[in-house]
């Protein structure tokens, strides 16, 4: 069980990190759209997100290695007692099981990473995390960009929601650690409340940020490409999900 979950963790971890890492350097200032609000802190936010993700992956992986069949008994004993409180040790089978939530979250991470990789390749040197237009840039309207206008943001959405599903898995390491600090009934209530708050906050922030970001990007592209962009927007009305939004 631990090995299966560890493989899922590694696979989604690589995809997540790739999708969160800028494929190109920051564009020259003269090519950047004016940075406002949260956009100014975007480099730090993306760096912090990657750092927190790496910490979680390493911790989760260490716990899984502690209970894996291939781990020497001495190392397994050391890792398990250093990483987890004694009251969680009997729950090894639960902690190392790839639950439906963890599996779906991992697959969402892989999907998001692959989608971002496609967008990196489609836009090449013109794909940047900052909103910018280069003098030689052309409007990409083929492939996935002929189905939805912002597939890279669909990928970002999958990455974030996938990570949330994994971290907030009620039978996972993080939520079990939180619950272990209380008695069973209170612990479950705390986990439920924490999960609900994090989910609600994440969904609200994603909606607000993505809506504003896509509006700004569409306005920038329309200003630069004019009728070509308007014809494309009419032909491809959906931004994130075909037939839905």
**What is residue 32's predicted lDDT score, i.e. its pLDDT?**
66
**pLDDT mean over 73-95:** 89
Is 90 exceeded by the pLDDT of residue 88? no
Strand partners, 32: 132
Contact between 91 and 83 under an 8 Å Cβ cutoff? The reply is no
Is 90 exceeded by the pLDDT of residue 240? yes
Total Cβ atoms within 10 A of residue 151: 19
Strand partners, 132: 32
110-123 tens-digit pLDDT? 999 999 999 999 99
Is 70 exceeded by the pLDDT of residue 37? no
Mean pLDDT of the chain: 89
**pLDDT mean over 13-40:** 80
Q: Which residues contact 45 (CB under 8 A, 6 or more apart)?
A: 38
3-state secondary structure of 175: helix
Is 90 exceeded by the pLDDT of residue 242? yes
Which range is least confidently modeled, 23-37, 170-184, 196-210?
A: 23-37
Q: Which residues contact 207 (CB under 8 A, 6 or more apart)?
A: none
**What is residue 204's predicted lDDT score, i.e. its pLDDT?**
87
Closest CA to 3 of 108, 175, 11, 17: 11
**Residue 1's Cα: distance from chain center in Å?**
24
**What is residue 18's predicted lDDT score, i.e. its pLDDT?**
96
CA dist 76 → 3, 65, 73, 89 (Å): 14, 7, 5, 11
**What is residue 203's predicted lDDT score, i.e. its pLDDT?**
83
What is the CA angle 16-21-26, rounded to 5? 160
CA dist 90 → 37, 47, 106, 167, 185 (Å): 48, 36, 25, 21, 18
Is 80 exceeded by the pLDDT of residue 129? yes
CA dist 126 → 14, 31, 40 (Å): 23, 11, 19
**pLDDT mean over 4-17:** 95
Q: Which residues contact 166 (CB under 8 A, 6 or more apart)?
A: 9, 12, 101, 102, 105, 106, 109, 172
**pLDDT mean over 140-148:** 96
> Is the pTM of the predicted complex or chain greater than 0.85?
yes
Is 80 exceeded by the pLDDT of residue 237? yes
């Amino acid at each position: 069980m631990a090995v299966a979950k560890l493989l899922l963790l590694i696979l989604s971890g690589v995809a997540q990190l790739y999708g969160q890492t800028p494929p190109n350097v920051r564009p020259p200032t003269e090519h950047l759209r004016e940075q406002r609000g949260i956009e100014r802190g975007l480099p730090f936010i993306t760096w912090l997100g990657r750092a927190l993700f790496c910490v979680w992956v390493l911790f989760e992986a260490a716990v899984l290695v502690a209970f894996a069949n291939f781990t020497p008994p001495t190392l397994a004993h050391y890792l398990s007692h250093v990483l987890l409180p004694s009251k969680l040790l009997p729950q090894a089978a639960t902690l190392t099981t790839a639950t439906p939530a963890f599996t779906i979250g991992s697959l969402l991470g892989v999907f998001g990473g692959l989608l971002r990789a496609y967008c990196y390749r489609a836009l090449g040197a013109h794909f940047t995390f900052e909103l910018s237009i280069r003098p030689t840039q052309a409007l990409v309207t083929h492939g996935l960009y002929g189905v939805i206008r912002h597939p890279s943001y669909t990928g970002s959405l999958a990455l974030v929601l996938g990570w949330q599903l994994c971290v907030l898995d009620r039978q996972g390491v993080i939520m079990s650690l939180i619950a272990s600090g209380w008695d069973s009934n209170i612990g479950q209530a705390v986990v439920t409340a924490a999960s609900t708050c994090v989910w609600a906050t994440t969904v609200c922030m994603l909606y607000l940020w993505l809506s504003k970001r896509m509006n700004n990007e569409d306005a920038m592209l329309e200003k630069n490409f004019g009728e070509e962009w308007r014809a494309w927007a009419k032909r491809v009305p959906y931004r994130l999900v075909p037939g839905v939004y």
